[in-house]
């Protein structure tokens, strides 16, 4: 390019900058890329390495003082942003015997996936549900919730929230409860009885004013039911070459996602499974429930091998090509921002043979 033209352009850019103007043609390739180019990277968090830090945190700060005693799983490429992908947050929360994580509510939707220990509880909208490893529990947007423990030892769960997404829209609100624990107004198991058996109350329209809003009114999905379904399908049906046996959790009233911003899945990789490669636009966070395996993840010509075991966690960023393998077999829980992609009509997935 002619040096005179180059200099003239630089002068143009410099003189219009004070008016908060910038030339689109200089940034168009980054704003409208030919394919997704996330800054996020694939990463693995080994539970046996993280657990000592959780326990040390338990010695140094109470659940009530911390409000939520959580170690955030930050994507290595997004340090300081409290994000595991550009739209999702993940962290490991610890509660010790006799503790209460006080009642509050917030705009952000949250999920809990129990990693270690039994005997703790989550209360949502006046109903408590017991926590056991592998259970998936929802705290809906703007619903009061608190946690407590009647266990003999520590209880740890994975928190998954849409914090970065809500932050992007500048739409976050929060409020602390007047009491440490909300009053129980329904016996434990009420929501499971109403919605967890392929049935629903006759006048379900009465639920439109429920604090659950667009979220599933069934806020606790026990692992024993999910596990039984996976193993039966492994025995009786054809295993998918990419996913093994993979099921998505649903809102029993709509058949859609349990939460408007996050999809949740449980899958079983049978012994000897060697999956075919795939990639998708929704970034996904995985929690290893049982067994061992590995995720082979490729991006921009670089391959990573993430060898995982029970209670480990890993992230598969957007448009990274992945293959899942397991010699002994394993069970994986995962969540992603897929419902948002689908609502906007931008979700894309490729499966390679």
Looking at residue 203, its pLDDT comes to 74
Return d(Cα 346, Cα 92) in angstroms, integer: 30
Return d(Cα 318, Cα 222) in angstroms, integer: 29
The whole-number average pLDDT for the span 17-41 is: 95
Quick check: 228 pLDDT over 70? yes
Give the SS3 label for residue 45: strand
Return d(Cα 217, Cα 34) in angstroms, integer: 40
What's the pLDDT tens digit per position in 277-300? Answer: 999 999 999 999 999 999 999 999
What's the pLDDT tens digit per position in 86-127? Answer: 999 999 999 999 999 999 999 999 999 999 999 999 999 899
φ/ψ bin of 109: left (φ > 0), alpha (ψ from -120 to 50), beta (otherwise): beta
Looking at residue 206, its pLDDT comes to 44
Choose the weakest-confidence range: 78-82, 189-193, 289-293, 322-326: 189-193
What's the pLDDT tens digit per position in 315-337? Answer: 999 999 999 999 999 999 999 99
Return d(Cα 159, Cα 140) in angstroms, integer: 13
With beta carbons less than 8 A apart as the criterion, state whether 340 and 165 touch.
Answer: yes
Return d(Cα 77, Cα 131) in angstroms, integer: 32
Q: pLDDT band for 265, please (50, 70, 90 cuts).
A: very high
Q: What is the DSSP string of 60-124?
A: HS-HHHHSS-EEE---GGGTTS--SSSS-EEEEEEE-TT-EEEEEEESS-EEEEEEE-SSEEEEE
Q: pLDDT band for 197, please (50, 70, 90 cuts).
A: confident
Choose the weakest-confidence range: 122-126, 129-133, 169-173: 122-126
Can you give the pTM of this predicted structure?
Answer: 0.94
Choose the weakest-confidence range: 79-88, 196-205, 342-351: 196-205
Looking at residue 204, its pLDDT comes to 65
Return d(Cα 336, Cα 160) in angstroms, integer: 9
Return d(Cα 177, Cα 125) in angstroms, integer: 12
Q: What is the mean pLDDT of the chain?
A: 95
Taking the alpha carbons at both ends of the chain, their separation in whole angstroms is: 45
């Amino acid at each position: 390019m002619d040096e005179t033209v180059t200099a003239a352009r630089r002068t143009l850019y410099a003189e219009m900058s004070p008016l908060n103007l910038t030339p689109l043609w200089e940034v168009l390739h980054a704003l409208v890329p030919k394919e997704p180019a996330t800054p996020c990277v694939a990463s693995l968090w080994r539970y046996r390495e993280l657990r000592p830090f959780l326990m040390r945190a338990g010695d140094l700060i109470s659940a009530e003082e911390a409000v939520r005693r959580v170690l955030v799983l930050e994507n290595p490429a997004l340090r300081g942003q409290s994000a595991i992908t550009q739209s999702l947050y993940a962290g490991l929360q610890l509660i010790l015997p006799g503790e209460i994580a006080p009642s509050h509510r917030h705009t952000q939707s949250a999920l809990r996936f129990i990693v270690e220990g039994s005997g703790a509880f989550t209360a949502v909208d006046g109903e408590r549900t017991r926590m056991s490893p592998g259970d998936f529990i929802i705290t809906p947007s703007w619903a009061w919730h608190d946690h407590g423990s009647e266990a003999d030892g520590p209880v740890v769960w994975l928190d998954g929230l849409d914090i970065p997404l809500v932050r992007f829209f500048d739409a976050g609100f929060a409020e602390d409860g007047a009491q440490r624990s909300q009053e129980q107004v329904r016996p434990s198991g009420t929501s499971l009885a109403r919605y967890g058996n392929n049935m629903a109350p006759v006048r379900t329209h009465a639920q439109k004013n429920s604090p659950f809003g667009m979220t599933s009114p069934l806020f606790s999905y026990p692992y024993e039911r999910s596990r039984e379904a996976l193993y039966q399908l492994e025995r009786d049906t054809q295993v998918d070459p990419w996913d093994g046996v993979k099921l998505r959790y649903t809102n029993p009233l709509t058949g859609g996602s349990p939460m408007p911003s996050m999809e949740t899945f449980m899958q079983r990789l049978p012994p000897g499974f060697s999956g075919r490669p795939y990639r998708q636009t929704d970034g996904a966070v995985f929690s290893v429930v049982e067994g061992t395996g590995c995720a082979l993840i490729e991006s921009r010509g670089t391959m990573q091998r993430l060898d995982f075991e029970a209670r480990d966690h890993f992230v598969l960023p957007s448009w990274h090509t992945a293959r899942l393998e397991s010699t002994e077999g394993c069970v994986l829980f995962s969540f992603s921002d897929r419902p948002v992609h689908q609502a906007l009509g931008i979700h894309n997935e490729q499966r390679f043979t």
